[in-house]
């Protein structure tokens, strides 16, 4: 924008050019800072020395969406659901193409139970005791690594809180 256009914009908006420039700078800095404060969308978890990367679903929207509509999930990737309260949560597979296994975890990250889930089903797969988290991985991922109830998932405490 040249000076003439800048002045025209200022007159059109009824705001002096310097004020308009300061406002734009402040708005840009606010936006940049909000991205810098963003909570992690992925975390690294470890179970019995097996590392994995988990997307974190900690909001109502991300928990509702889950892994729906995806066609594949890389071998050592999954999704950690962080619930707003400890309860007997359940998962289902509507609009989900990938066969998954879900591990329900208590507040300390200890696996309560694991369930295999078939794609495109609405069967409820639930925690056998109150759970704080659920970790979805490709079906058989836990079994292949001999991970079962009682194993501790390290790193869940780094997940952002549910909101």
Q: Tokens at residue 59, please?
A: 């909001």
- As a whole number of Å, the end-to-end CA separation of the chain is 43
Domain count, the chain: 2
CB within 8 A of 156, min separation 6: which ones? Answer: 45, 80, 105, 109, 133
Assign 30 to helix, strand or coil: helix
In the predicted model, is pLDDT for residue 83 greater than 50? Answer: yes
* 54 and 115 within one domain: yes
> Both 83 and 66 in a single domain?
yes
Residue 95 lies in a domain: yes
Clarify whether residues 47 and 126 are in a common domain: yes
pLDDT in tens, 9-31: 444 555 566 654 564 444 444 44
My answer on whether 88 and 128 are in the same domain is yes
Q: Residues 6 or more apart from 120 whose CB is under 8 A from it?
A: 93, 94, 95, 96, 97
**CA angle, 71 then 127 then 116, to 5°:** 35
The answer to whether position 163 is within a domain reads no
**pLDDT, mean of residues 98-120:** 98
Average pLDDT, the chain: 85
Give the pLDDT confidence score for residue 19 in this predicted structure.
57
- Residue 52 included in any domain: yes
DSSP state of 38: P
**pLDDT: is 36 or 72 the higher one?**
72
- What per-residue confidence (pLDDT) applies to 16? 60
Q: Which of 58, 32, 50, 65 is nearest to 158 (CA)?
A: 58
pLDDT at 32 over 70: no
Q: Report pLDDT digits (tens) over 42-74.
A: 999 999 999 999 999 999 999 999 999 999 999
Q: Are 111 and 105 in contact (CB under 8 A)?
A: yes
Instruction: Say which CATH number the domain at 135 has.
Output: 2.60.120.1140
Q: Looking at the structure, do residues 139 and 78 belong to the same domain, yes or no?
A: yes
Q: Would you state the structure tokens that stand for residue 61, as one six-digit string? A: 């929207």
- List the domain range (segments joined by +) for residue 24: 3-36
Tokens, residue 88? 């007997």
Regarding whether 68 and 15 lie in a shared domain, the answer is no
Same domain, 60 and 12: no
- What was the pLDDT predicted at 54? 98
Query: Do 17 and 49 lie in a common domain?
Result: no
Query: What's the whole-number mean pLDDT along residues 114-136?
Result: 98
| CA separation, residue 26 to residues 18, 20, 31, 33 (Å) | 12, 10, 9, 10
pLDDT for the residue numbered 15: 53
Give the predicted TM-score (pTM) of the model.
Answer: 0.77
φ/ψ (deg, to 5) at 124: -85, 130
pLDDT interval class at 1 (50, 70, 90): very low
Is residue 85 located within the same domain as residue 27?
Answer: no
């Amino acid at each position: 924008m040249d000076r003439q256009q800048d002045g025209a914009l200022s007159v059109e908006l009824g705001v002096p050019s310097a004020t308009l420039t300061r406002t734009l700078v402040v708005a840009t800095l606010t936006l940049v800072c909000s991205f810098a404060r963003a909570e992690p969308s992925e975390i690294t978890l470890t179970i019995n020395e097996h590392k994995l990367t988990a997307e974190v679903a900690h909001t109502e929207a991300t928990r509702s969406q889950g892994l729906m509509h995806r066609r594949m999930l890389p071998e050592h990737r999954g999704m950690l659901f962080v619930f707003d309260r400890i309860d007997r949560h359940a998962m289902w597979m509507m609009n989900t193409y990938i066969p998954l296994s879900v591990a329900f975890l208590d507040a300390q990250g200890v696996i309560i139970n694991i369930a295999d889930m078939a794609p495109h089903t609405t069967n409820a797969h639930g925690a056998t005791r109150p759970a704080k988290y659920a970790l979805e991985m490709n079906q058989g991922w836990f079994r292949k690594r001999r991970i079962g109830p009682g194993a501790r998932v390290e790193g869940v405490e780094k997940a952002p809180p549910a909101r």
